[in-house]
Amino acid sequence: MTRRLVLASNSFAGSAYVAHALKQGCEVVGVSRSNEPSPLFLPYRHLPSSDQARFRFEQADLNHNLDNIFKLIDEFRPEVIVDFAGQGMVAESWAAPEQWYQTNVVAKARLHSFLRHKDWLSHYIRISTPEVYGSSDHLISEDQTYKPSTPYAVSHTATDMSLKAFHNSLKFPVMIGRFSNFFGEHQQLYRIVPKTILCVLTGQKLPLHGGGTSVRAFIHASDVATGIEAMIARGTMGEVYHFSTDQFLSIRNVVEMICAKLGVAFETAVEVSPERLGKDQAYLMATTKARSELGWSEKLSFEAGLERTIEWVKANLSELRALPWTYQHKA
């Protein structure tokens, strides 16, 4: 039975990966800075009790409780650590860049320095972001030059570069996965897909930043989990892998698709708001390496995942509409 530690297990993709690992028979410890939210946002809380019995949650903050996390790691001795943790949100990072650098760079450097001495750690899977590349107008490979354009992206770039140095000089067992935009059931309500569905179903106007011209690919949480599993099973230490579909959509396209599925006119459902500072126009990642070296491919199309997400929102609408729909910042 493999022992796996998941940092930011309360995050959307983190909780989806916990569920995946439990279904694979792993023993899992999850760590997040906040206590567990509603089970609506935790897919592993919908698994059979026999699977849930192999999961333990610990509330701890990388900035304030790192010594407690070190103790937990030494006691649990995970073979695999999957790291989703980090200060998120792009636009908000301009308000206090030092918070992003403290969490995403300084605290992570302390964590990695601690872990470098643990010979029982076989895999450290770092979940990164295409934001490190800045905007692209063509498909980019894993050796693309970094060109971050926000404090959020700078912080992730710095950590990725630090980890590469740890691997090159110290043989730290890291692999980096960069994923296109996550989506699916159980996602936090401030994200574009669930928020659009909620706005349409409740008759509220959706603020569409900059008219929704930016272009993204979307990957379902279940395909994120299989991408991570493919890295653990077949990846090469020190390498970076891209995971994305090849369906690139503007945010406006996404909102239009949701409106069409719910039978509402796009023009009546949105109001255009100013674009967010430093927002990149497009992230277009090539995924040849993950497909050829890892044998990974997405199993759920955007359309199929969208149907599942709409059904999840409809089934839980009364509870979801009473929860916060906006990002709740934590320093």
Residues 78/5, Cβ–Cβ less than 8 Å: yes
261 in Cβ contact with 200 (< 8 Å): no
Per-residue pLDDT, 92: 86
Residue 300: in which H helix or E strand, if any? none
| DSSP characters over 80-128 | EEEE--S---SGGGGT-HHHHHIIIIIHHHHHHHHHTT-TT--EEEEEE
Helices (H), 171-274: 192-202, 221-234, 251-262, 266-269
CB 86 within 8 A of CB 163: no
Buried b (16+ CB within 10 A) or exposed e, 253-281: bbbbbbbeeeeeebeebbeeeebeebbbe
- pTM more than 0.85: yes
Pairwise CA distance, residues 198 & 204, whole Å: 8
Q: Which candidate, 169, 194, 196, places its Cα nearest to that of 183?
A: 194
Q: State how far the Cα of 227 lies from the Cα of 253, in Å rounded to an integer.
A: 26
Which pLDDT score, from 0 to 100, does residue 252 have? Answer: 96
Tokens at 277, concatenated: 């500072």
How far is the C-alpha of 305 from the C-alpha of 197, rounded, in Å? 13
CB 58 within 8 A of CB 293: no
CA dihedral 223, 225, 231, 233 (to 10 degrees): -110
Which segments of the chain have a pLDDT < 50? none
Per-residue pLDDT of 117-139, as tens digits, reads 999 999 999 999 999 999 998 99
How many other C-beta atoms can be found within 10 angstroms of the C-beta atom of residue 96?
14
Q: Measured on CA atoms in the order 10, 13, 18, 22, is the torsion positive or negative? A: positive
pLDDT of residue 274: 80
| Both structure tokens of 166 | 């740890």
Give the pLDDT confidence score for residue 275 in this predicted structure: 73
- What's the confidence (pLDDT) of residue 308? 98
**pLDDT for the residue 90:** 81
The tens digit of pLDDT for each residue in 190-208 reads: 999 999 999 999 999 999 9
Tokens of 219: 């990957």
Q: Determine the pLDDT at residue 329.
A: 64
Domains along the chain with CATH numbers? 3-182+220-243 (3.40.50.720)
3-class DSSP state of 30: strand
Position 131 scores a pLDDT of 95
